Amino acid sequence: METKFIFVAGGVMSGVGKGVAVASIAKILQARGLETTAVKIDPYVNVDAGTMNPTEHGEVFVLDDGMECDQDMGNYERFLGRNLSSKNYMTTGSIYLDVINRERNLDYGGKCVEVVPQIPLFIIEKIKRAAKTNRAKVVIVEIGGTVGEYQNILFLEAVRMLKIKQPDDVALVLVSMLPVLEAGGTELKTKPTQYAVRTLNAAGLQPDIILARGSVPVDDSRKEKLALNCNLRREDIISAPNVKNIYEIPLNFEKDRLSDLLLKKLKLKAKKKDFRKWKKFIHKSNNPTKKVRIGIVGKYFNSGDFVLTDSYLSVLEAVKHAAWSLRADPEITWLNAESYENNPTSLEELKNFDGIIVPGGFGKRGVEGKIAAIKYVRENNIPFLGLCYGLQLAVVEFARDICGLKEAHTTEIDPETPKPVICTMPDQLVNIKKKQMGGSMRLGAYKCKLHPKSISYKLYTTSHPSTLLGTGKLTPNLLTPNFLISERHRHRYEVNNHYRLKLEKGGMLIAGLNPQRELIEIIEIPEHKFFVATQFHPEFKSRPLSPHPLFVGLIKAASEIK
């Protein structure tokens, strides 16, 4: 049987949850027993998302194979419970780069290479390759941006071409916002969506389904109006109201029988839906028995007057997964690292939290504030989880305060520091010197050997094993001192092994090491209630149904669950 393709485009405006809609469509088809995968197309000329500023574009998500991509890929992995690969992500830049490289290799056999048809044909080829790699029966493709934008015309052209060739194998879904005018009561306005459909029509496309986003559910008369004006039937309009918990969206879609509609459209047969585990998870998340207050000390959330938390999306989701699994309701507060600089009294607010996270980051801004916060939580026995930069700055703080290395620093901030406790490996130095910054960090999955006496070891071997190497259940013979995990990385700097003994003498436990290069992957302070920091990003591997062991550890310590 042919692979089936569901393209998802956005109308009217961006930021209405198209990525989560794609993840939810993938989820409902997966729940019907179909092998499903999701692909994201980003309209940027950037070859990957690694060079994009998180305050502008949101979090840079990292896959096992090192691909730096859009945060929506994280949503796909979380909803599907699957690891995706670089084949599932493309940008305008990466597509052009590949086509130009082909042309340079004479792969077009001397023919003129034109934007149309070569670029759309190449897009189709890439999507088919992604489906094949993932052995998917259905591939859901998210087209970034909104219809009518000049920059995604070639992607729509790819949909048009594929649909002409394989009409029964392609469905097009439009995710469109129905705004409510403040002065007009609560009526959802349909006209902008009607225009979006006309724009698609002008590109030679007709949506098969409209996911009508709105602050409230879409009523029948609005559905009728949209159907009539957008060449659809009323049942092709799916109500997609705002929700508090995004993981409920697949269930909401099913209220309007979205999976049945798609299956019929694509002439697909499937099993009856099975949402048992998912529903159990939703029930747990909606019925907490206690509150846990978590503070996240960062800097990428101030965008003018807005608090933008997208830069830390996976951290946020990982906290939720872990808390919900323990029947706790996470109350998350975003704490601005800069506010702690030269201001010891402001640190007192950290006492109000059950746990503190210092997530990943780059550059000088806010660094001393993060270090001050880490010192405070270390001295006040407040549960702490450091992620990447969070580990590096915890090492700097410990070196300065406990090991007496007053001038300790990371060479990222002070290249001339006499005590470079965090520095670059020679391979990274080459990249920095050549200014080859795109795609050149330590990226993707690396193995890590756990210290048998560490908290991490205990957590990984007792919690849900989503991060364990290999598949299947834990067996007693895995509980050996050489127990390995695999976690994702995105950084240029490392703990300098020259200072390892000094750190250990000061009471720091090296809880995880890279087996090949002896690089420090996890540190802990055994005396502390919970002080764990990782060079990798555990948040990228947390899933709703298998929360990450280290986040579980933080929440357990924070809420004093045994």
Q: Which residues are catalytic?
A: 388, 537, 539
**Is 360:389 a contact under the CB 8 Å cutoff?**
yes
Strand-pair partners of 209: 173
For residues 3 and 138, is the Cβ–Cβ distance under 8 A?
yes
Least distance (Å) between residue 412 CB and ligand GLN: 5
* Distance set, CA 369 to CA 340, 355, 358, 412 (Å): 5, 17, 11, 16
> Under the criterion CB under 6 A, does residue 492 sit at the interface with ligand GLN?
yes
Residue of minimal Cβ distance to ligand GLN? 360
Taking CB under 6 A as the criterion, which residues in 32-61 touch ligand GLN?
none
Based on the shown chain and the rule CB under 6 A, indicate whether residue 361 belongs to the binding site for ligand GLN: yes
446 in contact with ligand GLN (CB under 6 A): no
| From candidates 10, 11, 295, 360, binder to ligand GLN by CB under 6 A | 360
Q: Does 340 bind ligand GLN (CB under 6 A)?
A: no
Instruction: Check residue 76 for interaction with ligand GLN (CB under 6 A).
Output: no
Q: Which residues pair with 142 in a beta bridge?
A: 8, 40
* Residue 493 touches ligand GLN, criterion: CB under 6 A: yes
Of 61 and 79, the one with the shorter C-beta distance to ligand GLN is 61
Q: How does DSSP classify residue 498?
A: G
Q: Are 49 and 42 in contact (CB under 8 A)?
A: yes
Residue among 59, 142, 236, 412 that touches ligand GLN (CB under 6 A)? 412
420 binds ligand GLN (CB under 6 A): no
- With CB under 6 A as the contact rule, which of the stretches 37-45, 101-109, 396-404, 490-498 interacts with ligand GLN? 490-498
Under the binding rule (CB under 6 A), the answer on residue 368 touching ligand GLN is: no
Euclidean distance between the first and the last CA atom of the chain, given in angstroms as a whole number:
51
Choosing from 299, 491, 541, 556, the residue that interacts with ligand GLN (CB under 6 A) is 491
142 or 494: whose CB is closer to ligand GLN? 494
> Which CB atom, from 428 or from 546, has the smaller least distance to ligand GLN?
428
Q: In this structure, are residues 83 and 63 in contact, taking their beta carbons and an 8 Å threshold?
A: yes
Token representation of residue 239: 């109500």
Q: Please tell me whether residue 388 binds ligand GLN under the rule CB under 6 A.
A: yes
- The reply to whether 7 sits near ligand GLN by the rule CB under 6 A is no
Shortest separation between residue 440's beta carbon and ligand GLN, angstroms: 11
Question: What distance in Å separates the CA atoms of residue 74 and residue 152, rounded to the nearest whole number?
Answer: 22
- CB under 6 A: which stretch of 23-31, 212-220, 283-291, 355-363 binds ligand GLN? 355-363
Q: Write down the least CB distance from residue 389 to ligand GLN, Å.
A: 3
Computed over its alpha carbons, how large is the radius of gyration of the chain? Answer: 25
What is d(CA 93, CA 259) in angstroms, rounded to the nearest whole number? 33
How many CA atoms lie less than 13 Å away from 43 in the CB half-sphere?
A: 18
Total residues in contact with ligand GLN, by rule CB under 6 A: 11
Q: Return the structure tokens found at 302.
A: 């101030």
Q: Does 490 bind ligand GLN (CB under 6 A)?
A: yes
Burial level of 484, CB count in 10 A (0-12/13-18/19+)? Answer: middle
CA-based nearest residue to 367, from 334, 412, 312: 412
Type of residue numbered 525:
I
List residues binding ligand GLN (CB under 6 A).
Answer: 360-362, 388-389, 392, 412, 490-493
